[in-house]
Every structure is written in C-alpha cells, then in structure tokens.
Structure 1
Amino acid sequence: MVENASQLFNHVMTLVIMAIALGMDALSVGLGMGMLTLRYKQIFKIGLVIGVFHMIMPLIGIAIGELLSQHFGEMSQIAGGILLVLLGGQMIFSSFGRGDEPIIRPVGFGLFVFAFSVSLDSFSVGLSLGIYGAKIVLTIILFGLTSMVLTWVGLVIGRNFRHFVGHYSEAFGGLILLIFGVKLLLHV
C-alpha cells in the first residue's frame, strides 16, 4: 500500500509539473496579450476559454494515445517520449524567435483560434500521456486549471508591467517537457 501511495504521489507530481510546463506557454503568450488594452472581464473570459481548450485537447490526445498504446505497446511509449522531446525543443526554439506582438487578437473568433493555438501542445502531451497510461480526469482538470490560472497571471502581469518575464517562461516550460520526454525514453 505504501508503494502504491508513493507511486500515486509521484504520478500526481509529474502531472502537476507537466501542467505548469504547459501553462508556461499560456503564461508567456498571456504576457504578450496582456500588453493589449484588455478589461478584467476580457481577461477572465480569455483565461476560461484557454483553460477549457487545455482540457479538451489533452483529452482527445489521451484517447488517441491509449488506442495507440493498446495496439503498439512499447513502440507507443517511445513515440510518446519522442513527441515530448520534440515539443519541448520546439517550445524552447520558438521562445527565442518571436516578437512581442501577438498575431491574433483574443476577441470573438480570434479568441478561439488563439486558445486552440496555445493548447496544441496539450494535445501532443495528452497523446504521450495516453500512451503512458495517465489518470484521465486528474490530468485534464490539472491541465485546464493550471493553464487558466497561468493565463490570468500572464494577462494581468502583462497588463500592468511591460516585458516583466518575456518569452523565457516558454523556454523553461519547453525544457521541462523535454526532460519528461527523455525520462519516458529512458524507462523503455
């Protein structure tokens, strides 16, 4: 029983750290978006929509990942690790190559496009977690709540302080995902 409790704690901590890593992208983008003129009502709505997308996208990814895991076994775990390494590397690389101005304004349809683009990494991570066999409800709740709160934090900080953290938070989130990908690959 102690080993099961320890395994559960490790699993939950891994998911919390991954949720924070994924939320760093939302935080980073929120910082840039927060530099636009946004009311607190808009900030609340943006965070809520991004949180919902960070629940839907990994859920779809987990479902596909579980299906792949049932059919391809160990190869699926390798693919999940590779996906996390690539995603982490892409987040690190892209954090140093963008300007501060957002391409899409978070209003109307643009909000959904914005939320979808910010949550795409959650789909890939969900795919990896489905292969790994993560607890589904816990995963999507942690991802959604964490990204929602970090989006709010980013938007409020961006609204009040220019260039406070910048894109380094996205690079840090990418590094964490890369490390988890390597960890998955080493446990094959």
Structure 2
Amino acid sequence: MSPLSILLIGFAMSTDAFAAAIGKGAAMRRPRLPDALRAGLIFGVIEAITPLLGWLLGRATSQYVEAFDHWIAFVLLGALGVHMIVAGLRPDAEEDTQEPGDNRHNRFWTLAATGLATSIDAAAIGVSLAFLDVHIGVVALVIGLCTLVMVTLGIMLGRVLGALVGKRAEIVGGVILIVIGASILYEHLHGAA
C-alpha cells in the first residue's frame, strides 16, 4: 500500500471524529487550545488502537479467507464509505448543547465514549488491512495522528463552521474509502490476470 493510500485512510478515518468535534466545538462556549488538544489526544489514541484490534481479528481468520480477501477489503471499505456518505447526508437530530458541567472526569468519559463510537469503522479498516501486505503499526499511527489533528481543528473551528463542514467532511471521507476499496480490488484482479 502506498504512503498516499495510508494517508488517505488516516484522513478518511478521522472525518467522522472531525464532524463530532465540530459539533462539540459548536456546543462549547469558548473552546481553548488545551481543551481541543486534550480531546484530540483522546480521540487519536482510541482511533489508533481500534485498527490494531481489527487487524488482529483479521489475521486470526486470514488463512480461511485468503482466496477472496481482496473482495472482503473492497466490501468492507465500500460499505464503510457508503455508511459515512449516508450519515453525512442525513440531517442531525437535535443535540443537547449544554456542557455536562465542570466535572473533568465526566467530560473525559463522554469524550472517550464519543471517540470509541467514531472509531468502530477504524476496527473494520484493521480487519480489511489484515489481508493486505501493509504494516499495521504505521497505518494505526497515521490514523491516530490524523484524528488528533482533525479533532483539535474541529473543536477550534466548531464555533465558526458549525455542522455544515462536519457533514461534508464525512461525505468526503466516505468517497475516499470507496475509492481506496475499488483500487485494492482493481490491483488484486489486475495482478491475478
């Protein structure tokens, strides 16, 4: 897998967290850089761990699906991409814009739960990558760093940009995943011919 593909996967995996961060930033009264960096770090660490877990699961089953692994990667990436596009097109439900108080412990767990919810797709990416010749540590690091940067930016820009950019970012991320899945399938089918 090329470095550009890895970077694009990192970007695509961070777009849903970016959308959530924009919503969080819009709900905060005056987001400060330390708060944004803290949220970015929480999201980034979770987003880096989940593809590793997915990769381990995929490696455990890889011998059983070796003949059609490229189709699995294509279907998983395509399905995730379509899901992200649909989520980006769907109108938001009314969200509670109140801060949960000044309790740092509650805010940490709220951020961690949101980070976990937005990282489920990264676990599926890890499963997909288990069937390819790619260093999962590098991919997980790139996903984590992209998420850290995107969440930090999302919170800081949330007040200004609101939900409009967040939804579009999720759509772009979905399109990127579909393109990467199609290119993996094309490379495998072209290489086999």
Q: Is there any run of 5+ residues in structure 2 with no aligned partner, and where?
A: 101-105
Q: Is the 8 A contact 2:36 2:153 kept in 1?
A: no
Structure 1, unmatched stretches of 5+, are: 1-9
> How many Å separate the matches in 2 of 1:142 and 1:86?
22
Q: CA-to-partner distance for each residue in 1:2-33, whole Å, 9 max, x for gaps? A: xxxxxxxx621110111111112221221111
Q: Tell me the amino acid that sits aligned with residue 27 of structure 1.
A: F
Deviation at 1:164, TM superposition (A): 5.6
**Letter matched to residue 47 of structure 2:** H
Q: Which residue of 1 aligns with 2:181?
A: 181
Alignment-derived partner of residue 9 in structure 2? 18
Question: Which residue type is aligned with residue 166 of structure 2?
Answer: G
**Letter matched to residue 152 of structure 1:** T
Q: Deviations over 1:78-127 (max 9, x none)?
A: 11210000000000001111317557978132222101011111111111
Where does residue 82 of structure 2 map in the other structure?
Answer: 89
Letter in 1 for 2:4: M
Are the structure 2 counterparts of residues 146 and 34 from structure 1 closer, same or farther at C-alpha, using a change threshold of 3 Å?
same
Deviation of the 1:65 alpha carbon: 1.7
The within-5 A match list for 1:104-143 is: 107-143=107-143
Q: CA RMSD in A?
A: 2.1
Q: Answer yes or no: is 1:151 the counterpart of 2:141.
A: no
Identity over the aligned pairs, expressed in percent? 26
Deviations 1:132-172 (A, max 9, x none): 13112211110100111011111111034435623011000
Bigger CA drift: 129-138 or 80-89?
129-138
Partner of 1:47: 40
| C-alpha contact (below 8 Å) 1:35/1:159 kept by paired residues | yes
Residue in structure 2 matched with residue 99 of structure 1 by the alignment: 92
Alpha-carbon separation, structure 2, partners of 1:179 and 1:54: 21
How many angstroms does 1:62 deviate by? Answer: 1.2
Question: What TM-score do you get using the length of structure 1 for normalisation?
Answer: 0.86
Alignment TM-score, normalising by the size of structure 2: 0.84
Number of aligned residues: 179
Preserved contact between residue 69 and residue 77 of structure 1 (Cα < 8 Å): no
Moved more, 54-63 or 66-75: 66-75
Q: Structure 2: how far apart are the matches of 1:31 and 1:151?
A: 8
Q: What is the correspondence of 1:59-74 to structure 2 with a 5 Å cutoff?
A: 59-74=52-67
Amino acid at match of 1:79: I
In 1, are the aligned partners of 2:126 and 2:136 still within 8 Å (CA)?
no
Give the letter aligned to residue 73 of structure 1. E
